[in-house]
Chains A and B, each alone.
Chain A
Amino acid sequence: MIRCLGLQWGPAGRPLTPPLDLPLPAGSLTAITGANGSGKSSLLKVLAGLHKPLAGQLRLAVPSLGGVGYLAQQQSFDRQFPIDLLGLVAAGSWRSRLSRIERRRRLDQALANWSLDGLQDRPLQALSGGELQRALLARLELTEAPLLLLDEPAAALDDAGQALLWQQIARWQREGRTQLVVCHDLDAVRRYFPNNLQIAADGCLFTSNSRDSFSMRGLRVA
């Protein structure tokens, strides 16, 4: 699914880590951890195609359009934009070729999955941070992108919201989606993630419960 060879990223001329070789199989679920400023978000942006890598190769086995679902750490959009929650979530089925009825069914399903029932008509402005975050995750679900890059999805969520998030991420994994999730909650990483990529300036560390052994450069394997 993902294949990095000697990948380096960060501000121009100042790569954040040694070159990284990392193959990630399709359907894998990986947490990305590391200190502030270590380059977690930057790595996701490189993978999402928003930034160019400084060096190395990156291959993603996904369609170039609609293949990658990216949830940014901070939303740059205008909270006063005249759109309601339903409109926001429905944009997820932009590329869907399904019938109107089937699209509507999936939309309702996604709303239910992220416990957004009853909030459909709320204007964006009147949503709490957690409700907005769940709406964005529901939109991501509707895109059916095979690769999901989530940058601190738990940050805005309360306990119930986080429990829902881990449950949905587990479901996405069962559905075969490949996921990379930036997460600061090490307890949650241990409980919910089979793989963990720790990012640090002196080299990245990949730990896996599934005992897959990868041959990697610039990567210590535990």
Chain B
Amino acid sequence: MDALWQPFVEFAFMRRALFGGIVLAVSAAPLGVFLILRRMSLIGDAIAHGILPGAALGFWLAGLSLPAMTFGGLGAGLAMAGLAAWITRRTGLREDASLAAIYPISLASGVLLLGLSGKRLDLLHLLFGSALAVDETTLHGMLLVASASLVLLVAIYRWLALDSFDPLFLRSVSRLGPLAHGLFLTLVVLNLVVGFQAIGALMVVGLMVLPAAAARFWSRRLPVLLILAALLAAACVWLGLLFSYYAALPSGPCIVLLAGAAYLISVLAGPVHGLLRRIPSPIAT
């Protein structure tokens, strides 16, 4: 039993990784639930690629500084989401297609910028990160952003839920639907940007979407799904860090693979449309 706590008691860097990771998991996983409900699950992936040039620009101008890279990534992510939404609205191109068209542009310019900057920044570190590299400043940043994001999500929950379900109806009773939609996308970008410092831009997508996808097999109630996804993500961070510590493996992939295992188990054993434990569910006609 001791083995479950010992590394965190012993090492400050493990404690920071655990703290930061759990806070990130709790704020990112509920966003993943909404991404899935809005059929935008792959959009997180696209945005995660797209924030790279901003982070690279921040690195070029200010070196390995968290605020510079965060604001750079945030700017790039929001600009990309905004540009894709604008193109969609003006031309009727579907939102997934316009985002899929914008993010390779963003990603390629990011890689090019890194090459131009001449400084050595490990691209792999940006993409796949390392939770063990969370220092005091990064941790404070993560705590701040994640708790703000959680508070904001609670504040817009009512609007976001109805906008995800039936935007046409929300439009007839409230003008705040587009605002909730925009704030939600901002939160997604924000969490991805904070996450890429810790477990990498691509791994954080896994932490966002996998627990949410797994939760779907366990409940049909939105509040339950949100809490379940957050708890599952936090548990994956904890166990993933332990596993990476004892097996001396990179932490990001360990966390995400654990979430992946939880997802596969849910697909098999989940009571809501799971493959094995299909309890008689009323069939819609």
Contact = CB atoms under 8 A, between A and B. Distances in A.
A59 B168 CA distance: 21
A70 B162 CA distance: 16
Q: Which of B37, B164, B165, B216 has the most CB of A within 10 A?
A: B165
Contact of B225 (A77, A82, A126, A145): A82
Given A77-B165, A78-B37, A82-B222, A65 B284 contact: no
Interface string B252-285: 0000000000000000000000000000011111
Given A82-B219, A82-B221, A123-B220, A76 B168 contact: yes
A128 B221 CA distance: 19
B285 A81 contact: no
B282 A122 contact: yes
B228 to A, nearest CB: 11
Contacts of B165: 77-78, 81, 83
Contacts of A123: 220, 282
Contacts of B91: none
A143 B169 CA distance: 10
A146 interface: no
A94 B174 contact: yes
Contacts of B222: 82-83
Given A91-B162, A125-B220, A79 B284 contact: yes
A69 interface: yes
A129 B169 contact: no
A116 to B, nearest CB: 15
Nearest to B166: A77
Contact of B169 (A65, A78, A91, A126): A91
Nearest to B165: A81
A72 interface: yes
Contacts of A91: 162, 166, 169, 173
Given A123-B220, A125-B220, A81 B174 contact: no
B173 A65 contact: yes
A interface, how many residues as a size bin?
20 to 34
Nearest to B223: A82
Interface string A80-111: 01111000000100110000000000000000
Contacts of B90: none
A216 B115 CA distance: 71
B175 interface: yes
Nearest to A127: B284
A126 B284 contact: yes
A66 interface: yes
Contacts of A50: 168
B interface, how many residues as a size bin?
20 to 34
A83 B285 CA distance: 17
A126 B281 contact: yes
Contact of B172 (A77, A122, A143): A143
A42 to B, nearest CB: 15
Interface string B217-248: 00111100100000000000000000000000
A128 B174 contact: no
B168 A72 contact: yes
B173 A94 contact: yes
Contacts of B225: 82
Given A82-B221, A82-B225, A70 B172 contact: yes
A139 B174 CA distance: 15
A68 interface: yes
A31 to B, nearest CB: 22
A50 B169 CA distance: 11
Q: Which of B37, B173, B175, B222 has the most CB of A within 10 A?
A: B173
A72 B167 CA distance: 13
Interface in B4-39: 37, 39
Interface in A118-165: 122-123, 125-129, 139, 143, 145
Contacts of A66: 172-173
A89 to B, nearest CB: 12
B162 A126 contact: no
B159 to A, nearest CB: 10
Contacts of B281: 125-126
A126 B173 contact: no
Contact of B37 (A81, A122, A125): A81
Interface of A: 48, 50, 65-66, 68-70, 72, 75-79, 81-84, 91, 94-95, 122-123, 125-129, 139, 143, 145
18 contacts: A50-B168, A65-B174, A66-B172, A68-B172, A76-B168, A78-B37, A78-B39, A78-B165, A81-B37, A82-B225, A84-B221, A91-B162, A91-B166, A91-B169, A94-B173, A125-B220, A127-B284, A139-B169
